[in-house]
Structure 1
Amino acid sequence: MFDVMYKTDGIGLSAPQVGINLRLMVFNPVGERGEGEEIVLVNPRVSKYSKKLTLFNEGCLSFPGINADVKRPESVKIDAYDVNGKRFSVNLSDLPARIFQHEFDHLQGILFFERMNEEVLDSIRGQLQALETKYEGMTGLPSPENIGNHRRRKVAVGFGKL
């Protein structure tokens, strides 16, 4: 998964994004192999999150070239397992917390644009629809993600109102 993440210039990746049906994510806030810390989380769970929310311009490897502002808790405390099955807890803040929350949402079936306010979502709606059209043209199949079928998430598992 790190190989895919680095090849696509990402800083985080969840298993469902690459067709693996596991509650697993990897990330490296630096986004460069050999630099920063490579983090692997298996079956992560949010145990606490800050009430202070911050706005950040996010992108997603599942929606290349689309970036927009998403408001999320500034910090989170998580419980997870490492690749050897050892349970641990960690506090994350700033960019690592942001990456974790984005990837955790993927594990919950939530996409980053579902966390955007309507004004922000409207600003990228055309780009999302263009990606859907491109996918359908390349595959002959309907897009698995349809912006018309999604609504903004006010509350998600493990987090408060966003």
Structure 2
Amino acid sequence: MTLRPILIHPDPRLKKPCPPVTEFDAELRKLAEDMLATMYDAPGIGLAAPQVGVIRRVIVMDCMKAPEPPRPMVLINPQVIAASQATSTYEEGCLSIPDQYADVTRPAEVTVRWQDLDGAEQQDHFTGLWATCVQHEIDHLDGKLFIDYLGPIKRQMITRKMEKLKRDRARA
């Protein structure tokens, strides 16, 4: 298990649509293991492969809060196959956009189909924070960030803050 560096916006890899995973091998298992470790260490509730520089359709998530036991999930090639008309608004953040948060409105419930680490098809219905998280992470696989839901001025303001953060980190 290796903690992987998380890319900070703006980075062109975060805007690239990811091709589907076709090989379900030891390398994929290692990626999923590393991503879960990186997500928990950050700490976060979701992480997409492009955030660690891997342009593949892989996400991990775990929205359980202590003292509930963890429920780590690895979703390969996930896709929303149904979404509710009802919406919910959550204050979203992103490990690639540290310390920046904004309200994003999304479908309140979604049904998602994906493959597990063995390539077997899975499907589940997500509500609440789980629904928001899975949609946020799938957006990453399509090159979309939560700030893309914001108005241009707020988006530019956050992007400038991230550019400054990257400059400051490069100097340190």
Common fold: TM-score over 0.5: yes
Deviations 1:54-107 (A, max 9, x none): 111000000000011000000111110011111011111111111000000000
Q: CA deviation at 1:134?
A: 2.9
Aligned positions of 1:51-70 closer than 5 A: 51-70=85-104
Q: In the alignment, is residue 126 of structure 1 matched against residue 157 of structure 2? A: yes
SS in 1 for 2:132: helix
Alignment of 1:53-132 (within 5 A): 53-116=87-150, 118=151, 122-123=153-154, 125-132=156-163
Q: TM-score, normalised by structure 1?
A: 0.76
3-state SS of paired residue (1:78): strand
Gap regions ≥5 residues in structure 2 = 1-34
Between the aligned partners of 1:83 and 1:20, the Cα distance in structure 2 is 16
Q: Which residue identity is paired with 1:53?
A: T
* Aligned-partner Cα distance in 2 for 1:135–1:78: 34
Contact 1:58 1:67 in 2 (8 A): yes
Deviation at 1:127? 3.9
Output the TM-score relative to the length of structure 2.
Answer: 0.72
Counting matched residue pairs gives 137
CA distance in 2, matches of 1:100, 1:60: 13
Q: Which runs of 4+ in 1 moved over 2 A?
A: 121-128, 136-140
Identity in percent? 34
2:4 corresponds to: none
| TM-align CA RMSD | 2.2
Unaligned runs of 5+ in 1: 141-162
Aligned partner of 1:8 in structure 2 is 42
Contact 1:10–1:31, Cα closer than 8 Å, also in 2: no
